[in-house]
Amino acid sequence: MDANANMHLTLNVWRQRNNSTEGGFVTYEVSDVSPDMSFLEMLDVLNERLVHEGKEPIAFDHDCREGICGSCSMYINGRPHGPLKGVATCQLHMRSFKSGDTIAIEPWRAVAFPVIKDLVTDRTAFDRIIASGGFVSVNTGNARDANSIPVRKENADDAFMAASCIGCGACVAACKNSSAMLFVSAKISQLALLPQGQTERKIRAEKMVAQMDSEGFGACSNTGACSAECPKEISLDTIARTNREYLGAKMTSSAV
Amino acid sequence: MSWLTQTLSSSIGKKLVMALTGLFLCTFLIVHLVGNLQVFKSDEGLAFNSYTVFMTTNPFIKTISWGLYAMILLHAIDGLYLAYVNRRARGSVGYKRFDNQSSWASRNMAILGTVLFLFIVVHMANFWYSYNFGEVPYKRYTVDLTEGRLLNTEVMPEDYRLSTKMEQSLNEEGTAKTVIVKDLFSRVERTFSNPLVVLFYLLGVAALAYHMAHGFWSAFQTVGLNHPKYTPLIQGIGLWIFGILIPVIFAAMPVYIFFRNAM
């Protein structure tokens, strides 16, 4: 078969008018899909057709379309961001599928991420977790001269790795417990590893974990599905670090 | 102490309780395995019965065993509560398709744990209950002390009772020893003569194997012990020793006794 030939696909898409109505799957047949299209472009084409037909287009989150904003969030054929490893939905291309495939597209499923419409979920729970402690309170100013604040190379690397989290929520979506531990751990790790994060290190761990729990995310059971599905491949080491940070903070912080 | 209750009721705190009680149960597993190796001895149960007396009369071990029952209950209750909270977090509408990139064992710890709990209940009803509250006959062993050889054994009458679980006496020359002991081993043999019971025990051990293959490593991760230097070792011990070696030896016990009786 010609690899450049256009594809024909059957899509089972979750449609839901709003949070207070029940949703369901609607089947769409799409033809003339180029293997070079991104997954979102394929949906754009379908939406254009739906608009022409006078139907409601499929609502989905998207913004940068270059894999760094964390907006796109689709559960594709049973996996967040689809079948590829270390890739967000916007960077998934139709060449990863075969003509004739049936593709199931669902929103993230978690009590803490209620569906707003179709494939769009409300992920402000993540914002509230960050607002509870995922920051450095003082202005750290402009970039310093190199090495004026010594940071170990390993710490810089690990902090950078953790900071690459785009907050898309694939970890929650992939976890059988809808746990947000990988997201929270990425932020706690990033700041715990750098000198600027030290002052608020303990209170940060305490507050972010408390906020995570109050949002209704589940507990971590170390299945590793989050890290396996993370488009930035954040490591499970960050979760162990957060367990250390949190338990250590609880044992030693001044908050009695 | 509000900080402590706050810590233990957080998601990480509840997992800490799972990890610490779980690791305690792991140490119990080793002791239980080593002790039960006595069933492989061909001495008509003398070593096994003597070991049972020691385990049920030594004050230190008796104290630990009550702690053990408490740990099992705490591990089970906390685990079931976590499973409930975790299930609730998904919401009422689940995925139509869910190709989870994780091991089967790691996703089914609560189910495996429930099977294990039922196994423990049946296991204790089989042996712990009948030994402490049921009718277990006594058996007399005569041992030649110069050669350490078992001279003869005699099952005591049904209504024979001692005030203790075991009595030992030497003959006048000091060359032979007579031991009269509660014969739990006869219970073991009778229980494992039923192939259905043996199959049930194998099911319990299989649940143990999968539970440990994930649980041992997971406990260390939960308490924050994860490092490239030792995590591969912890995972190796979890899989090969707790997930395979220990369950295989446990599984061999009912199978060995079943076939030894059947031969």
Is B16 touching A (CB cutoff 8 A)? yes
B102 to chain A, closest Cα gap in Å = 5
In-domain check, residue A176: yes
The number of domains in chain A is: 2
Residues A137 and A155 in one domain: yes
Nearest-by-Cβ selection for A250 from B3, B94, B102 = B3
- A224 lies in which domain range? 124-252
pLDDT, tens digit (0-9, with 9 covering 90-100), for A75-102: 999 999 999 999 999 999 999 999 999 9
pLDDT-derived band at B56 (thresholds 50, 70, 90) equals very high
Query: What pLDDT score was predicted for residue A256?
Result: 77
Helix (H) or strand (E) holding B179: strand B176-182
Q: A149 with A97, same domain?
A: no
Task: Please give the DSSP secondary-structure letter assigned to residue A145.
Answer: P
Which chain B residues have a beta carbon less than 8 Å from that of A78?
A: 95, 97-100
Question: Is B186's pLDDT higher than 80?
Answer: yes
The domain boundary residue, chosen from A99, A116, A133: A116
Q: Give the range among A56-70, A224-238, B142-156 with minimum mean pLDDT.
A: B142-156
Residues ≥6 apart with Cβ < 8 Å to B260: none
Beta bridge partners of B168: B179
**B85/A148: higher pLDDT:** B85
Chain A touched by B146 (CB under 8 Å):
no
pLDDT the model gives residue A4: 66
DSSP for B193-235 reads TSHHHHHHHHHHHHHHHHHHHHHHHHHHHHTT---TTTHHHHH
Q: Say what percent of chain A tops pLDDT 70.
A: 98
Q: What value does the mean pLDDT take over residues B241-249?
A: 98
Residue B73 banded pLDDT, cuts 50, 70, 90: very high
B64: which residues sit within 8 A by CB, 6+ positions away? none
Chain A hits for B10, Cβ within 8 Å: 209-210, 213, 246
Please report the ipTM that was assigned to this predicted complex: 0.93
Where residue A93 sits, what CATH number does that domain have?
3.10.20.30
| CATH number of the domain within which A220 lies | 1.10.1060.10
Averaged confidence pLDDT in chain A:
95
- Evaluate whether residue A20 is within a structural domain: yes
Instruction: Check residue A147 and give its pLDDT.
Output: 84
Provide φ and ψ at B106, rounded to 5°.
Answer: -65, -25
Looking at the structure, tell me whether residues A166 and A53 fall in a common domain. Answer: no
Task: Examine the domain organization and report whether A237 and A129 are in the same domain.
Answer: yes
In degrees rounded to 5, what are phi and psi of residue A204? -65, -50
Q: Is residue A37 part of a domain?
A: yes
